[in-house]
Structure 1
């Protein structure tokens, strides 16, 4: 497994919302949430209908997210496709 080379882009962030920003605006539901560690955007996971966390990565290039679920403590790099 490749080692992530993007940890220098991790910032101290404030969550942008208490749920998926885009789903809340659209009145949609999500499965799980992810927080962008570059800017704090909260988006829904790829198991969710709209996949807003991945869309945020595609739109911004911000590489690393963390789970925004209670009790979960992991981070994922989209570019390296690996846990951080």
Structure 2
């Protein structure tokens, strides 16, 4: 994995998660496949494999480019702008 300029621009330390689940899914009774956390603001959302794709929606609404897996034992990050694992 290589760093991209969007990772270099992230706040340090990482933000505190705003929730422990995708509250948008919970609000409509949907079940997320996996969770992601926004590394700019701490928003937790469901992944693109989930029916409602709230992580992508968060990027489209905020332009916060980098999310990290919010699954236990996973630390990989995804940059929506570069379309790659970073």
Instruction: Return the TM-score normalized by structure 2.
Output: 0.88
> Aligned to 1:6, what secondary structure does the other structure show?
helix
- Could you tell me which residue of structure 2 aligns to residue 46 of structure 1? 48
Contact 1:19/1:33, CA 8 A, preserved across alignment: yes
SS at match of 2:5: coil
Contact conserved, 1:74 with 1:83, CA < 8 A, in 2? yes
CA distance in 1, matches of 2:9, 2:58: 15
- Stretches of 4+ moved more than 4 A in 1? none
Q: Is the 8 A contact 1:3 1:80 kept in 2?
A: no
The count of aligned residue pairs is 84
Structure 1 counterpart of 2:8: 8
Q: TM-score, normalised by structure 1?
A: 0.90
Distance in 2 separating the partners of 1:30 and 1:5: 29
Structure 2 residues not aligned, in runs of 5+: none
Question: RMSD of the TM alignment (CA)?
Answer: 1.7
